[in-house]
Amino acid sequence: MISNIGGPGLILIVTLALIVFGPKKLPEIGRAMGQSLKEFKKSTKGLIGDEKEYVMEIEKSIFDKK
């Protein structure tokens, strides 16, 4: 989705963000978004790890019965 935004589009988005939020609030918003993204990635990695453990337990139980 972001890869479809060209240079002029990115400049327009940044300009609109500066107008709406102002130069003092923009770094705070960026920091908050970064922290949210970091927490989201951490949570998804945890879910994927749990799923892998579950699959390994199932495989172990299947192969132990044979």
Q: How far apart are CA 66 and CA 56, in angstroms?
A: 16
Q: What is the per-residue pLDDT for 2?
A: 58
Residue-wise pLDDT for 4-58, tens only, equals 778 888 889 888 988 998 888 888 988 999 999 999 998 888 878 778 788 888 8
Q: What is the CATH number of domain 2-65?
A: 1.20.5
Contacts 24+ apart (CB under 8 A), 34-39: none
pTM to 2 decimal places:
0.53
Q: How far apart are CA 5 and CA 39, in angstroms?
A: 25
Q: What is the per-residue pLDDT for 31?
A: 92
pLDDT(1) > 60: no
